[in-house]
Structure 1
Amino acid sequence: MNLLRSLVTQAVTLVFVLLSVLLMVAVVLGATGVSDKILLAYVNEELRAVRQSLSQRIKDPVELEKALEQVRLELEKSYGLDRPWYERIPSLILRVLTLDLGYSRTITSFDGSRKVADIIMERLPYSLLLVTTAVVISAVAGINF
């Protein structure tokens, strides 16, 4: 019974620490404006790609700028930049916990997927094997020496 109580206590503590760390990281990134800078960089990068594709179809510069402004507003809304940072914290924490981290720009999974969740889940077994092996080796070395 003591073992079960200890495991439950440790599990609750682990969840509490995880949520606390996620909250602190979200607050630091939001309050300092770093998250806004990162998201604005994503918006600007996507806007450059849209500009290149639209410039081939829309020849009038004024019309092109109006279309780009509309796309920019839609992108800012989709990234939540139309809301203050503290209103975005719950959705940020939920996305991190569910591994909804978007798409990678450079790394792909072995089957070619660019979803960050797929990349993490694909490499997780190897990471666990590496950590487990290291713990076993250090435990054996610690007992024998």
Structure 2
Amino acid sequence: MLFTILSIMLSFSSSVLAAPLATRQETVSNVKCTGGNALDFHTVNVAQLQICGGIAGSIQKCQGAPTSTTGTSGNVQFSIKPVQAGATINISKGRWEQGIKAAFAVCGQDKPFSATFTGGASVGDVNVVLKQV
């Protein structure tokens, strides 16, 4: 009986200590770092959530199928446009956040950039710009 209990405890503890699942990494290309100084962290985060008229809270995708969108807070602006003319933006919150992280991994946290995020449009990819305005 004691052996059975120990065996169950060991198998449970090893599953609890298992490595976490890998997070999804979005593909970004054409990354160009366009500024030297990092922008204000809080202002960048607020601007990031302002795309598509607001993608915060329970909203999981860009609503309304816009052909371009901006997210602005203070002196920081994100702009998104589909690469292919005539396409609309339908980027998910997860794809948006992971693309931003991937671009920051190249340029540095909160530093201005331009890049192409894979997917995020009704057809094809989206071009994203973070800049100081």
Shorter-chain-normalised TM-score: which range? under 0.3
Which structure's residues are more often strand, by fraction?
2
What's the TM-score once normalised by structure 1's chain length? 0.24
Which structure's residues are more often helix, by fraction?
1
- The higher radius of gyration belongs to 1
Higher relative contact order (CA 8 A, sep 6+): 2
